[in-house]
Amino acid sequence: MAANIEKIIKHSSNPEMIESAFAFAKKAYKGKYRLSGEEYITHATRVALMLDEMKLDPITISLGILHDILDDIPEAIRKIELKEIEKKFGKEISALVGKISTLSKVRYSLSIGIRDKKSFGKENTENVRRMFLALSGDLRVILVELFSRLDGLDHLYPLSNEKQKLFALETLQIFVPIANRLGLSEIRRTLEDKAFFQLMPKRFNWLKENIKEEYEQREKYLKRFIPRLKRILKKERINFLDINYRAKSYWSTYRKLVSHDMDLDKIHDLLALRIIAPNIESCYRTLGIVHKHFGPISEEIDDYIAKPKMNGYRSLHTTVFLPAGKITEIQIRTDEMDREAEFGVCAHWSYKEKIDLKKEGDNFGWLNPVRSQGDMEIIQKKQTSNGVKDVSDFWKSFKIDFFPNKIFSFTPKGDVIVLPKNSTVVDFAYAVHSDIGNHCESAKIEGKIVPLNRTLENGDVVEITVNKKKLPSKDWLRFVKTSLAKSNIKRLTDQGDSGFRLPFSRFIKRKLTEISEASKKWREEKIKLSKDNIGHISIAGQRRMLIHIAKCCNPQRGDKVGAYLAPNRATVLHKLSCSNFKKISEKFPERIVDASWK
């Protein structure tokens, strides 16, 4: 490990920063171990080494060194650590460390699914991915997290089978699609195959053994066939720039095998030929000549030039019979399309900055962020008059607010609820189900009671308490954001209606028999509130709740107060300075709620 640290420091353009980051990390990680039993600093060093091999800037490498510092520590200590990081390394690194520490929230949904043996719905899984992007806010954060995941996949053996399975599933369902969406193709393929091995080791080894010979045979065949194809194109006077081939990952191959009855002979793109043409017209002419000389499989011809994929990918795909009965996929595209497929946004940027991707492809191919489906908004792109000289300058310019107008939160069962920004827990309740919103009585976030007007944040786990006797309040209209919540509240409170109208027939029947008893109970509570002088106390944003005054400190109007929610649901009011209240707060923090005189 020491040799790797020295190597990273030596390579850096700012060795003082890297050396300082390692010194800080060693102290912060001391005595801390990952689930695998390994020291945090060992893992962080390997992540930093991968970043160093990509020739990234000192800030990104420092993030790799420090990225686990806030894991598994209380919120109060997290804030102290962040202040120390900001003091030592500046606001940028502190903000990046803070962002990467929040990404663990995306694990909640999948861990619930594993525990309850619940399948992952397509929509819910996609929302978890979107939450990951929303929480990250910076491509450097995503990159470090992907490298951390790559290293983690190699050190799962000390974990239980269940935890290994969760880690592999997270990788395939969340991290692989994100790497693919950003065009990080090499990272994607490596993540896929490592997760595949962890999740299904027997099937992985079977595929590797059975496909090795097939790969080698097809590679030899294509190497012999390419010169013949070049002669055909030249004879037909078809201009082309290059002809090459690429291999399919084990995971992609396995997924395709499953859909083809595990028959390797039906997989035609283990190795795919790629023809690079000078222009679009040449692409279509090349396709015609290929079909002229080699019979196509008609149902496997795809025109992604006329109709590009959602991520902007453009190419012609066809599957043909080559000599000796070999069935092979051929991709035909222009040089520009090839750059876009290989380097994504980087390809467009390279034109502007005059970077030759053919000469410097090894330095840029790994980042390849492709165009997204409209949700991703790049809000800052740095430009320099002299051109960007290394990959890190390009990468760190991508500070992204992927979903600036969305909030992603969880139900206790792990389902993701997507709401407009600044939505409240009442909006959340209605989004889960209108009946839950209509009878929402109280809410908890991360196990703590919160006011109903509490604004949600990304990753909040929200639990709604329902009371069938409770109906919406007109006051809710002051803070709810969604049209669903507003329409239900207006309907049930009869806003703007001069007459009185009860919404449910069963409600009418019940109230006819209960109204006398309810009125009597209300009068008794009102007298008690007046007697105890507590009618103007707000508990967690709610008024007119039944409250007991603690005899130990006997709080009076104007005192700074807090409340304890007793197991029998009674609320006990204490002075904040009360020694008994302080002891209760330490022992039962989840039962403490805000209180104030109104």
> Which of 298, 314, 343 is the endpoint of a domain?
343
DSSP letter, residue 477: G
| Residue 508, pLDDT score | 58
End-to-end CA distance of the chain: 60
Same domain (yes/no): 167, 308: no
> Which of 115, 149, 183 is the endpoint of a domain?
183
Examine residue 568 and state whether it is found in any structural domain, yes or no: yes
Mean pLDDT, residues 515-521 taken together? 62
Q: Could you tell me if 331 and 359 are in contact, meaning their C-beta atoms sit under 8 angstroms apart?
A: no
Q: Taking the mean position of all CA atoms in its chain, how far away is CA 32?
A: 25
Examine residue 364 and state whether it is found in any structural domain, yes or no: no
For residue range 481-512, what is the model confidence (pLDDT) as tens digits? 999 999 899 988 864 444 444 454 555 555 55
Here the CATH number for the domain that contains residue 440 is 3.10.20.30
Listed residue (404, 410, 449) closest to 422, CA to CA: 404
Examine residue 194 and state whether it is found in any structural domain, yes or no: no
- Supply the range of the domain harboring residue 511: 504-530
| Residue 119, pLDDT score | 59
Residue 434 CA to residue 250 CA, distance in Å, equals: 46
H or E stretch covering 230: helix 201-235
Residue 308 CA to residue 314 CA, distance in Å, equals: 5
Same domain (yes/no): 517, 489: no
pLDDT for 194 beyond 60: yes
Phi-psi region of 107 (alpha: psi -120 to 50; beta: other; left: phi over 0): alpha
Q: What is the tally of structural domains in the chain?
A: 5
Same domain (yes/no): 18, 93: yes
Q: Which of 16-25, 26-35, 205-214, 404-413 has the highest mean pLDDT?
A: 16-25
The two three-digit tokens of residue 274, written as one number:
């790629």
Same domain (yes/no): 461, 578: no
Same domain (yes/no): 495, 508: no
pLDDT, mean over the chain: 79
Q: Is 515 exposed, middle or buried (0-12, 13-18, 19+ CB in 10 A)?
A: exposed
Task: Place 391 in a pLDDT band, splitting at 50, 70 and 90.
Answer: very low
Stretch among 58-67, 114-123, 260-269, 389-398 having the lowest mean pLDDT: 389-398
Examine residue 378 and state whether it is found in any structural domain, yes or no: no
DSSP letter, residue 266: G
Same domain (yes/no): 552, 520: no
Mean pLDDT, residues 192-200 taken together? 90
Same domain (yes/no): 523, 446: no
Residue 184 CA to residue 369 CA, distance in Å, equals: 7
| Residue 432, pLDDT score | 93
- Tell me the β-bridge partners of 138: 399
- 292-304 burial, b if ≥16 CB within 10 A, otherwise e? eebebeeeeebeb
Same domain (yes/no): 39, 123: yes
- Tell me the β-bridge partners of 101: none
For residue range 323-367, what is the model confidence (pLDDT) as tens digits? 876 788 899 999 888 876 664 443 433 333 344 444 444 433 333
For residue range 255-272, what is the model confidence (pLDDT) as tens digits? 878 877 777 767 766 778
Same domain (yes/no): 418, 484: yes
> Which of 530, 546, 567 is the endpoint of a domain?
530
Distances (CA, A) of 383 to 143, 224, 380, 407: 21, 46, 10, 31
The two three-digit tokens of residue 459, written as one number:
């990753």
What are the φ and ψ backbone dihedral angles of 516, each rounded to 5 degrees? -65, -45
Task: Place 71 in a pLDDT band, splitting at 50, 70 and 90.
Answer: confident
Here the CATH number for the domain that contains residue 154 is 1.10.3210.10
Claim: this prediction has a pTM higher than 0.75: no
CA dihedral 371, 374, 375, 380 (to 10 degrees): 60
Residue 343 CA to residue 357 CA, distance in Å, equals: 8
Same domain (yes/no): 85, 151: yes
Stretch among 174-183, 269-278, 523-532 having the lowest mean pLDDT: 523-532
Same domain (yes/no): 514, 483: no
DSSP letter, residue 410: E
| Residue 238, pLDDT score | 92
Examine residue 359 and state whether it is found in any structural domain, yes or no: no
What are the φ and ψ backbone dihedral angles of 213, each rounded to 5 degrees? -65, -40
The two three-digit tokens of residue 38, written as one number:
């390994």
For residue range 206-250, what is the model confidence (pLDDT) as tens digits? 888 887 766 777 778 888 889 999 999 999 999 999 998 877 778
| Residue 392, pLDDT score | 43
pLDDT for 105 beyond 50: yes
Here the CATH number for the domain that contains residue 282 is 3.30.460.10
| Residue 493, pLDDT score | 84
Task: Place 527 in a pLDDT band, splitting at 50, 70 and 90.
Answer: low
DSSP letter, residue 474: G
Q: Which residues lie closer than 8 Å to 321 by C-beta, 6 or more apart? A: 294, 295, 296, 297, 327
Examine residue 589 and state whether it is found in any structural domain, yes or no: yes
- Tell me the β-bridge partners of 33: 39
- Tell me the β-bridge partners of 277: 334
Q: Which of 9-13, 89-93, 166-170, 350-354 has the highest mean pLDDT?
A: 89-93
Length of the chain: 598
| Residue 284, pLDDT score | 95
pLDDT for 85 beyond 90: yes
Examine residue 367 and state whether it is found in any structural domain, yes or no: no
Same domain (yes/no): 156, 226: no
